[in-house]
Amino acid sequence: MADMLQMQEQSRKSFFQWHVLLVMKQKQLQKTLSEAGVRPDEVRQIEQSLPPVVDSDELALLQRFGLPIPSNLVDFDLPARKPVPGIRFFFRAAPAFDDEHDFALDFVRQRVDGGYERRELMRVQYDDRRYLRKAAERFNDALDGYATAMVVNAAQVWSSFHGAVVMDWEAVSARLLGVETTEDSEDWYLNLTEPDQSQSEKKRKRIDLSGRKSLFGD
């Protein structure tokens, strides 16, 4: 009787452990297939649905305007192109608002209500400011002949080439941007709003160019 009870207990443990073993074996198989370049159909379909940077209009735009591009584009994805509501758009390279030792490349839009918002695309140390100034000039030239959404997407791709962190939109005063405005000079700061804390947790990353500015012909 004792032997029978022992066999039943062993069977019960084996039953509950079997599915754990199967899951472990499944993960091991998936890892082996992934390392061998073989992936499940679902993963392959998702990857194939992502437009590669190498075949994109964004890359063609960057090449046409002479913006530095890495030789290996395998690790870069193309983000989905999204509409950018607004009535005025421009790129701006200027000292960062939060650190006088940094220089930032921003994309700025004027909303229909007249207010301005900026999105930081990349920042470098102040000594490398010429690099971002040239980039801003060329992106602004691109805005004259291409759809805004496409140029913005190309700018984000270009930032990713440097490992930059693209920040979320934040409200900014026209005075701080240095643009012409009819705002009352005494209460211009009232148009500034605190950025959403849930969206501003990204770290503003300063990029070390490591000689990349030479790609502009400096």
Phi, psi angle pair for 33, to nearest 5°: -65, -40
- The confidence score (pLDDT) of residue 214 equals 55
Please identify, among 49, 65, 83, the residue that sits at the C-terminal boundary of a domain.
49
Domain that holds residue 192: 53-216
Please give the average per-residue pLDDT across 3-12, as a whole number.
Answer: 52
- Same domain assignment for residues 45 and 62: no
Beta strand ranges found along the chain (DSSP E): 88-96, 99-110, 116-125, 170-172, 206-207
- Same domain assignment for residues 23 and 111: no
- Same domain assignment for residues 34 and 68: no
- Same domain assignment for residues 111 and 153: yes
Spatial neighbors of 9 by CB under 8 A, at least 6 apart, are none
- Same domain assignment for residues 14 and 58: no
- Same domain assignment for residues 169 and 100: yes
Going by C-alpha positions, the residue among 124, 85, 86, 81 that lies closest to residue 106 is 124
- Same domain assignment for residues 143 and 204: yes
- Same domain assignment for residues 33 and 88: no
Higher pLDDT, 138 or 175: 138
When divided into structural domains, the chain yields a total of 2
Spatial neighbors of 17 by CB under 8 A, at least 6 apart, are none
- Same domain assignment for residues 96 and 31: no
**Residue-wise pLDDT tens digits, 93-151:** 999 988 889 999 999 999 999 999 999 999 999 999 999 999 999 999 999 999 999 99
Phi, psi angle pair for 103, to nearest 5°: -125, 130
- Same domain assignment for residues 88 and 27: no
- Same domain assignment for residues 178 and 109: yes
- Same domain assignment for residues 99 and 175: yes
CA distance 211 to 218: 10
Model confidence, pTM:
0.67
**Residue-wise pLDDT tens digits, 47-103:** 555 557 888 899 999 999 999 998 888 888 888 899 999 999 999 999 998 888 999
For residue 154, the tally of other CB atoms under 10 A from its CB is 24
Residues 156 and 166: beta-carbon distance below 8 Å = yes
**Residue-wise pLDDT tens digits, 14-37:** 444 444 454 455 556 666 766 766
